[in-house]
């Protein structure tokens, strides 16, 4: 039983398709009901066990309604793929006009889904799985695209000092600078600044939660990882990517289904572990 957020098109649609092709029951979700139902119908016509439910990850009421529906109809879930996200910059653009929406969706929305779904993750000898679709643009120590503040970078990198409060304060500090017009001198990532920072926060939260969840008893383990799908030819990149959604979805599906090794709190690309 798998839930894939933002799965009416692009990478999310392909992740849902591949999971369903492995014989799983998959809940396809989208903000808009019509497009979600149309996407679900395509898979159902192929004989795949896919159902639809509306979900807006930035709306607490929507998440609560979805959670209640999952509980009532399935008793819980085994796999959560946090794919829903937004980006408003293309090419060489670096506008922060929609920074609040980007951070609210890609970080806070993802975080809300994780917190709400964790109590619903079903016991399993293989462990429940959470996979967060993030980006290399959110790496802490990327050569060209990283936070300039060395002290902050070190705090975010140190698992002992990493906290939800630190991650929240980092993104909120950026948003405050966006509002007062000082963000360009704030030492933030230079490429797609709002998107990069939202994914950096999601990466950090993955590490934090993996550490917290490591205390779960045997049979109730929850393994959480994140991965970069690459520069994918989808609407989010204005079709400028060079990777197909089919290839981009592969690592998410692999992390969700892998049963011969138990990894958590790691960052992957093309089935290989990479540095945060």
State how far the Cα of 274 lies from the Cα of 50, in Å rounded to an integer: 32
First-to-last CA distance in the chain?
29
E strand or H helix that includes residue 65: helix 60-74
State how far the Cα of 269 lies from the Cα of 251, in Å rounded to an integer: 7
Q: Which residues pair with 243 in a beta bridge?
A: 232
The active-site residue, picked from 107, 195, 223, 227, is: 195
195 noted as active-site residue: yes
Q: Which residues pair with 130 in a beta bridge?
A: 80, 224
- Tally of CB atoms within 10 A around 22: 12
State how far the Cα of 247 lies from the Cα of 134, in Å rounded to an integer: 15
Q: Which long-range contacts (CB under 8 A, 24 or more apart) does 93-99 make?
A: 93/192, 94/190, 94/191, 94/192, 94/193, 96/178, 96/183, 96/193, 96/194, 98/194, 99/174, 99/175, 99/178, 99/193, 99/194
Pair 224, 210: CB distance under 8 Å: yes
13: which 2 tokens? 């649609």
226: which 2 tokens? 């994140």
Give catalytic residues, as residue numbers: 195
């Amino acid at each position: 039983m798998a839930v894939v957020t933002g799965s009416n098109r692009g990478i999310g649609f392909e992740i849902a398709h591949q999971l369903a092709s492995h014989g799983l029951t998959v809940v396809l979700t989208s903000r808009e009901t019509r497009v979600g139902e149309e996407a679900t119908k395509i898979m159902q016509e192929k004989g795949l066990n896919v159902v639809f439910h509306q979900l807006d990850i930035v709306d607490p009421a929507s998440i609560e309604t979805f959670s209640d529906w999952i509980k009532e109809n399935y008793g819980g879930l085994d796999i959560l793929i946090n794919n829903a996200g937004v980006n408003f910059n293309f090419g060489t653009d670096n506008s922060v006009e929609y920074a609040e929406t980007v951070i609210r969706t890609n970080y806070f929305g993802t975080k809300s889904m994780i917190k709400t779904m964790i109590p619903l993750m079903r016991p399993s000898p293989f462990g429940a799985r959470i996979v967060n679709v993030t980006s290399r643009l959110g790496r802490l120590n990327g050569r060209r695209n990283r936070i300039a503040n060395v002290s902050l970078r070190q705090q975010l990198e140190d698992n002992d000092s990493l906290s939800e409060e630190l991650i929240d304060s980092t993104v909120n500090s950026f948003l405050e600078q966006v509002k007062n017009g000082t963000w360009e001198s704030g030492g933030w990532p230079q490429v797609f600044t709002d998107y990069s920072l939202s994914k950096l926060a999601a990466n950090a939260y993955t590490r934090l939660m993996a550490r917290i969840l490591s205390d779960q008893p045997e049979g109730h383990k929850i393994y959480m990882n994140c991965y970069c799908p690459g520069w994918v030819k989808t609407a989010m990149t204005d079709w400028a990517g060079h990777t197909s959604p089919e290839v981009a979805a592969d690592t998410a599906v692999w992390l969700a289904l892998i049963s011969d090794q138990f990894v958590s709190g790691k960052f992957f690309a093309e089935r290989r572990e990479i540095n945060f």
